[in-house]
Amino acid sequence: FLPKKKKQRDCLINLKIQKENPKVVNEIDIEDLRSTNVCYCRCWRSKTFPVCDKSHIKHNELTGDNVGPLILKKKIL
Ligand code: FES
């Protein structure tokens, strides 16, 4: 039996991004997107967070997880 706090610590998703902040929030103005496709990290392992750097591939290999980025696509009108 593990104390409740220990169990919750073992379930951390964010291991090192902006740990000085009580909550990590990223705001992206869609109008500012420069390229037609932008990938945002959802695995919390990217060294360029919040932008995906493909670290999810290694994370998935090591853990058996299946996470991937959020891809925003901008239509060219
Ligand atoms: Fe996190 Fe790609 S690096 S989703």
How far, in Å, CA of 75 to CA of 36, rounded? 7
**Token pair belonging to 49:** 């967070």
Q: What is the per-residue pLDDT for 5?
A: 60
Q: Dihedral of the CA atoms 36, 55, 41, 46 (nearest 10)?
A: -110
55 CA: nearest ligand 1 atom? 3
Q: Assign 74 a pLDDT band (cuts: 50, 70, 90).
A: confident
Residues whose CB falls within 8 Å of the CB of residue 37, separated by 6 or more in sequence, listed in order: 71, 72, 73, 74
> In a mutational test of the pocket of ligand 1, which residue from 14, 40, 41 has the highest number of ligand atoms less than 8 Å from its CB?
41
Question: How sure is the predictor about 75, in pLDDT bands with cuts at 50, 70 and 90?
Answer: confident
In tens, the pLDDT along 8-61 reads: 567 889 999 999 999 999 998 888 777 778 899 999 999 999 999 999 999 999
**CB-CB contact of 33 with 75 (8 Å):** no
Q: Is 6 a catalytic residue?
A: no
How much is the ipTM here? 0.99
* This prediction's pTM: 0.80
Q: Is 59 in the pocket of ligand 1 (CB under 6 A)?
A: no
